[in-house]
Structures are given as C-alpha cells and as structure tokens.
C-alpha cells in the first residue's frame, strides 16, 4: 500500500476509527488517510490511535483486525488517559476564560483550521 495523503479533518459524517473501532459523530476532528493499492482506500484515525501509532509503531507496521487497541490494550489505554486528561485541562482553561477571551480563542482556532 502507498499512502497518498494524511491530514486532520473535521468530519461531515460519522466515522469509525480503524485503529480502535470506536465510532465518532460528525464534526469530530480525525486524521484522514488515503491509500492506493489496487484502488483507492480511505481510513480515519482518532487522536488516541494517531498518538499511539506515533509512539509505538513504525510507518510500515501492520496490525490485524483487532486494531491498535486490541493488540496492546494497556498501552493504548495509557495514551487515551494521557490525551483525555490533557483535553480536560484545556476545557477547564476555556471555562475559566472571560467571554472576550473565549471569542479570541475561538477566532484563533478557526484561523488555524482555515
């Protein structure tokens, strides 16, 4: 397989992460991968699986149908807890902001995504 593209996208419909099998609703930011191998294939990876793969795998590593989560449940769970705890801290920071600070933060995020 040849990787054609990999980029972070805000999904327009629900997708299942190929790495862990969890389903994510539309509007979720996931990594979209496009592959070519006797056709064009696309996969979506959640933030946890993207980070786990970066920490524990090589670019040409393959995994079976149980995915990253099934092959190393303890290691995958450690990464999930780490990411979710840092996300919670960011959310807490946003909650402590004044309305003006929240508007500035939103503008900055939209500018980075655009």
For residue range 44-100, list pLDDT tens digits in order.
999 999 999 989 888 777 777 678 888 889 999 999 999 988 875 554 444 455 566
- Does the pLDDT value for residue 108 go beyond 70? no
The CATH label, of 1.10.10, 3.30.1740, 1.10.3470, 3.40.50, for the domain at 2-113 is 3.30.1740
Q: In whole angstroms, what is the distance from residue 102 CA to residue 111 CA?
A: 14
Alpha helices in 27-113 (DSSP H): 47-56, 67-71, 73-95, 99-113
Instruction: Please provide residue 5's backbone torsions phi and psi, each rounded to the nearest 5 degrees.
Output: -155, 155
**pTM, 2 dp:** 0.69
Q: What percent of the chain has pLDDT over 70?
A: 75
User: How confident is the model at residue 90, as a pLDDT?
Assistant: 52
User: How confident is the model at residue 92, as a pLDDT?
Assistant: 42
């Amino acid at each position: 397989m040849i990787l054609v593209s990999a980029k972070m996208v805000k999904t327009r419909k629900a997708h299942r992460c190929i790495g862990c099998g969890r389903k994510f609703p539309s509007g979720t930011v996931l990594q979209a991968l496009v592959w070519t191998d006797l056709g064009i294939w696309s996969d979506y990876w959640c933030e946890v699986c993207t980070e786990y793969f970066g920490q524990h795998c090589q670019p040409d590593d393959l995994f079976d149908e149980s995915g990253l989560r099934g092959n190393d449940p303890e290691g995958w769970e450690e990464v999930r807890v780490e990411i979710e705890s840092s996300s919670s801290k960011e959310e807490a920071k946003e909650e402590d902001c004044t309305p003006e600070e929240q508007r500035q933060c939103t503008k900055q995020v939209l500018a980075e995504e655009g």
